């Protein structure tokens, strides 16, 4: 089996754990497979330094134009997602990546991006508890699951706020690589009982 390609979107004012949680999960899964199962990359509009929420600076691996093919796309949230949905050029590029991906999931207010692109139309979703009304303003037909840690709608999945992105990432690991890989990853991370 060829390595799955996974990309995590970055942008200014991205919520740190929204991207760092999934990055840790998928990177550990890759590490525990001897880097045979998965290639994890971060991607932003350009390859320039991104300033995450509360000042953490992150250098993305790729500018979005360099991203050829992705199996799994992770869309984190944070206040910066408001600016992303106003950037038509970037949204068009994100949409092209989504069209060819097998799995696309948002964490927290990253659901704004899916809503703005029309992917939550008539769909069940979850997000950060403070962001449900924002999503419904963008997509009135979306169906909120306010108590869900995450929602799996096939290709599209949404996670609640911040740490819930770790739970959804572990779920995706199990979906692609099996329960044993998920448990091994969670154990390595000292992440609760899986």
The whole-number average pLDDT for the span 73-93 is 97
In a domain, 159, yes or no: yes
According to DSSP, residue 117 is labeled T
Residue numbers of the domain that contains 178: 4-188
Beta bridge partners of 43: 9, 62
Mean pLDDT value across residues 97-120: 97
Residues of the chain above pLDDT 90, percent: 95
Whether residue 193 is contained in a domain is answered as no
Q: Whole-angstrom distance between the N-terminal and C-terminal Cα of the chain?
A: 26
Confidence of residue 2 (pLDDT cuts 50, 70, 90): confident
pTM exceeding the 0.85 threshold for the entire prediction:
yes
Retrieve residue 101's tokens: 């991906």
pLDDT in tens, 78-87: 999 999 999 9
- Token digits of residue 83: 């600016």
| Percent share of the chain, pLDDT over 70 | 98
User: Looking at residue 50, which CATH number applies to its domain?
Assistant: 3.40.50.880
> What does the pLDDT look like over 126-170, one tens digit per residue?
999 999 999 999 999 999 999 999 999 999 999 998 899 999 999
- Residue 155 located in a structural domain: yes
Residue 59, SS3? coil
pLDDT of residue 89 exceeding 70: yes
As for how many domains the chain has, the answer is 1
Contact 152, 119 (CB under 8 A): no
- Summary mean pLDDT of the chain: 96
Rounded CA separation 189/142 (Å): 34
């Amino acid at each position: 089996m060829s390595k799955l390609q996974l990309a995590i979107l970055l942008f200014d004012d991205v919520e740190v754990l929204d991207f760092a949680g999934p990055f840790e999960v998928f990177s550990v899964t890759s590490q525990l497979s001897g880097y045979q199962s998965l290639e994890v990359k971060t991607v932003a509009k350009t390859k320039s330094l991104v300033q995450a929420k509360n000042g953490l600076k992150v250098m993305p691996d790729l500018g979005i134009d360099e991203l050829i093919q992705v199996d799994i796309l992770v869309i984190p949230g944070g206040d910066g997602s408001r600016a992303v949905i106003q950037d038509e050029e970037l949204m068009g590029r994100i949409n092209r990546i989504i069209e060819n991906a097998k799995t696309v999931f948002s964490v927290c207010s990253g659901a704004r991006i899916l809503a703005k692109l029309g992917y939550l139309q008539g769909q069940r979703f979850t997000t950060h508890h403070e962001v449900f009304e924002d999503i419904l303003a963008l997509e009135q037909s979306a169906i909120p699951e306010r108590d869900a840690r995450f929602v799996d709608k096939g290709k599209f999945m949404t996670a609640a706020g911040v740490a819930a992105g770790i739970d959804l990432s572990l779920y995706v690991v199990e979906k692609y690589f099996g329960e044993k890989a998920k448990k091994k990853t969670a154990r390595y991370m000292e992440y609760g009982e899986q």
